Amino acid sequence: MLRDLRILAVAALAFVASPAAVVLASPQPAAAQVSADETARFNAFLDQEFRESLRFNPETSTTLGVRSGGDRLSDLSEAGELKALEWRRGSVARMKAGHRRDQLSPEGRISFDMWDQELDAAELAWKFRHQGLVFGRSSPHSSLPAFLINSHLVTTPADMKAYNARLRALGPAIDQARERAAAASAEGIRMPRFRYERVIAESRRLIAGAPFAEGSDSPLWSDAKTKVTRLSAAGQISPAEAQALLEEARAALTTQMKPSYERLIRWADGDIAQAPSGKVGALTLPDGLAWYQAALKLQTTLDLTADEVHRLGVTEVARVQAEQDAMARTAGFKDASAYYAELARRDPPQPYTDERRVEILAYSNRLIAAARAKLPVMFNRLPAYPMEVIRESLFSETPGGSAYARGPSPDGARPGRVYLHMLGETPRRAGLASLMCHEAAPGHLMQGDIRVRQERVPLYRLAYRNAAFNEGWGLYSELLCKEMGVYPDIASDFMRLDAELFRAARLVVDTGLHAMGWTEDQAFAYLVETGRRPEQQARAEARRYILNPGQATAYKIGMIRILALRAEAEAALGPKFDVRAFNDMLIAAGSLPLSVLDSRVRDWIAERKAG
C-alpha cells in the first residue's frame, strides 16, 4: 500500500507543480566556487538582519527565547506593516549587493532563496492587505492574550515588569486592529456574521470578572496572579514587590485593556448588521478571485489554480475512499460505511464531562509517549524536550474546534504542547492516535523541538513557518506512524485514513468556498456527507476555511510533495536510500517553501550518491 501511495504521489506531483515552481532559482555554473568562509559570512549577515527584523515582531523574539523587545507588542497598524515591508525590501537589496548566491554552500543557497522569497510573500500580502481579515482565524483580540498566557514566561522580576508593559500595550494594539477592520469595512470587506458574533463573545469573556467586576478572575488577571505567585514562591520578590507588580497588572487591565475591548465590542455590535452570511468566500470580496489565487500562493508557495486544486481534491477523495473500503473488508465488514457504523456503536460521541476530559487528556499523553518510543524506527534525530496535551484556554474554546500545537521554547523551559478543544461532544478514541502523530511526534512538536535546537543555520530558519511544508509534514507523520507500528489496532489505522480523507475533502471545500461560490451550508454538507465529519466539527471547520483562504489546501499538497520527493530519492539511490537519513534531512532542514524543498532533497540525493 505504501509503495502504491508513493507512485500516486509522483503522478500527483506532476499534476500540481508547474515547471517554474519546482526550483526557485536557476542552476548555478559548475565552475562556481563554494566557499565555507563566504557561507559563514552570509549566515552572520542573515543573523544580524533577522535580529533587526524582530523589532517589527517582538512576539517572535519571545517564542525564540530572545528577551529583547519583551516589553512590546507588534505594531498592527497599516503604517507599521508598510514600515516592516520597506525594511525587508532594503534587507534583500543589501543581501544581493553584498553576497553572491553561487559562492554559497547548498544550505547557504537555501537560506538565500528563502530570504528572497520572504520579500515576495510580503509584497503579495501587502497588495491584498485589505482582503485579509484582521479579526479572522488568528485574531489579535484572542491570540495576544493567549500569547501572554502561554508564551511569555516569567522567571525573573524583570520578566514580570515586561509582562505588565505588554498588558499596557494590549489596548493600543487592539485599537490598531479595530481601526484596520473598520477601514476595510468601509470598502465593503467584512468578516462573516458568525465571526462578528464570536469576536464579541470572546471579548466579553476576556473582560468579565476580576479585576473588571465582581466574579471569578478573568483569564489575564488569573495568569498575572499565577506568575507573581511563582516569583514569590521562588523567593525572587518580597510581599511588597509582589503587591506592586499585581497593582501594575490591575491598572493595565482596567485602564488600557478594558476600554479598548469595549470599543471593539461597540464597533462590532454596530457593524454586524451589514455582515454577510451564506455565501461568504473570497470571491464575494472586491478583487476576491485574485486574492484567493494569492492566498493559494502564500500558503503553498506553488503556482496552483483553484481548478487544479479542486480536481486534485476530488481525485484524492476517491482514492482514499477506495482504500477505506479495502481496509474495512480486511476488518470483516462490507465496506467503509459498515465499519464507520460499527465504530460509532463502540464509541459513540458523548457530552464532555470533567471526567471524560481527564480520561482523553491522559490517553492522548500516553499515545505521544508510545509514538516517541518508536521514533528510532524512522529517525536518527530525536526530540529532546517534554511534550504534553492540555485543554484549550476557556476564553477561546469552541465545540468542534481544531487541535493545534505550539512548539517548545529553545531552552525547553516551555514544553511543546498540543491544545484540545474540549467542549461539545467527545471525539472517537480510535482517531486520537493519528491526531497525536500529526500534532506531536513525529509531527509538529517534534518539528519544533528539532528546529529550535539547530546550531549551524541562520537564526531566522528556526522561526520560519511554511504552511504547506508544516502541514504536509504533519500528514506525512500520520503515515510514518503506520510504518513505525504506532497504531494499536486496525480501527486506529482506519481512522488514519479517515483523517486523510478529511484533508482531501479540504481541497474540495476550500476551493468550493473561495472560487466556486459555495455557501457555508454547502461546505458543511460536503464535510459531513463526504468528509465524514461530526456536525459540530464540520461547522467549525467550514468557518475556519472561510476565515483563512487557502490554508486548508496546505496539508494534502504538502504531503503529496513530500511523498513524491521520497519516491524520487528511493528511485535515484536504490540500495543507498536510508529512510531514517531522509526523514532526518527533511526535519532538520526546517520549514522550507515547497519550491526550495525540491532543491534541498535533490542536493541531498547528490550528496548520498557521491558518498
- Residue 21's pLDDT is 33
pLDDT over threshold 80, residue 239:
yes
Same domain, 279 and 301: no
At 8, is the pLDDT very low, low, confident or very high (cuts 50, 70, 90)? very low
Q: Point out the domain boundary residue: 224, 259, 284.
A: 284
Domain boundary, last residue among 242, 262, 284: 284
Closest CA to 261 of 139, 343, 399: 139
Threshold 0.85, pTM exceeds: yes
- Choose the final residue of a domain: 284, 299, 315: 284
Angstrom distance (rounded) from CA 348 to CA 367: 20
User: Does 402 lie in the same domain as 374?
Assistant: yes
pLDDT at 122 over 90: yes
299 in the same domain as 227: no
Binning pLDDT at 50, 70 and 90, where does residue 452 land? confident
Q: At what angle do helices 490-515 and 306-330 cross, to 10 degrees?
A: 160
In 45-127 the beta strands, taken as DSSP E runs, fall at none
Asked if residue 69 belongs to a domain, the reply is no
Res 410: pLDDT: 87
Q: How far apart are alpha carbons 50 and 53 in whole angstroms?
A: 5
Please enumerate, as own/partner, the contacts of 565-572 that have beta carbons within 8 Å and a separation of 24 or more: 565/597, 565/598, 565/601, 566/6, 566/9, 567/6, 567/7, 567/9, 567/10, 568/10, 568/601, 568/605, 569/601, 569/604, 569/605, 570/6, 572/605, 572/609
Looking at the structure, tell me whether residues 279 and 305 fall in a common domain: no
**In this structure, are 264 and 396 located in the same domain?**
no
Q: Which pLDDT score, from 0 to 100, does residue 33 have?
A: 53
Which burial class, exposed, middle or buried, applies to 608 when counting CB atoms under 10 A from its CB (0-12, 13-18, 19+)?
Answer: middle
Residues 273 and 383 grouped into a single domain: no
* Residue 478, domain member (yes or no): yes
Grid cell listed for 301: 508557495
Do 198 and 313 belong together in one domain? no
Across 409-414, average pLDDT: 90
Q: Residues 345, 266: one domain?
A: no
Calpha distance 375→481 (Å, rounded): 9
Report pLDDT for 30.
Answer: 41
Are both 439 and 482 inside the same structural domain?
A: yes
Region 130-144: mean pLDDT is 94
DSSP label at residue 425: B
Do the beta carbons of residue 533 and residue 527 sit within 8 Å?
yes
Residue 499 lies in a domain: yes
Give 251's pLDDT tier (boundaries 50, 70, 90): very high
E strand or H helix that includes residue 404: strand 404-406
The 10s digit of each residue's pLDDT in 198-215 is: 999 999 999 999 999 999
Task: Say yes or no to pLDDT of 32 above 50.
Answer: no
pLDDT at 11 over 80: no
Give a yes or no: residue 412 inside a domain. yes
**Number of domains the chain is built from:** 2
For residue 13, pLDDT over 80 is answered with no
For range 539-565, the mean pLDDT = 97
Comparing CA positions, the residue from 413, 388, 385 lying closest to residue 64 is 413
Question: pLDDT digits over 34-88, tens only?
Answer: 688 999 999 999 999 999 999 999 999 998 888 889 999 999 999 999 999 999 9
Q: Please check whether residues 276 and 213 belong to one and the same domain.
A: yes
Identify whether the C-beta of residue 530 lies closer than 8 Å to the C-beta of residue 356: no
Residue 459 scores a pLDDT above 90: no
Q: Is residue 30 part of a domain?
A: no
CB atoms within 10 A of CB 366: 13
* pLDDT confidence of residue 395: 85
Instruction: Note whether 309 and 278 are same-domain residues.
Output: no
Per mean pLDDT, which range of 16-20, 74-78, 234-238, 429-433 is the poorest? 16-20
The residue range of the domain holding 156 is 140-284
Look at residue 10 in the predicted model and tell me its pLDDT: 43
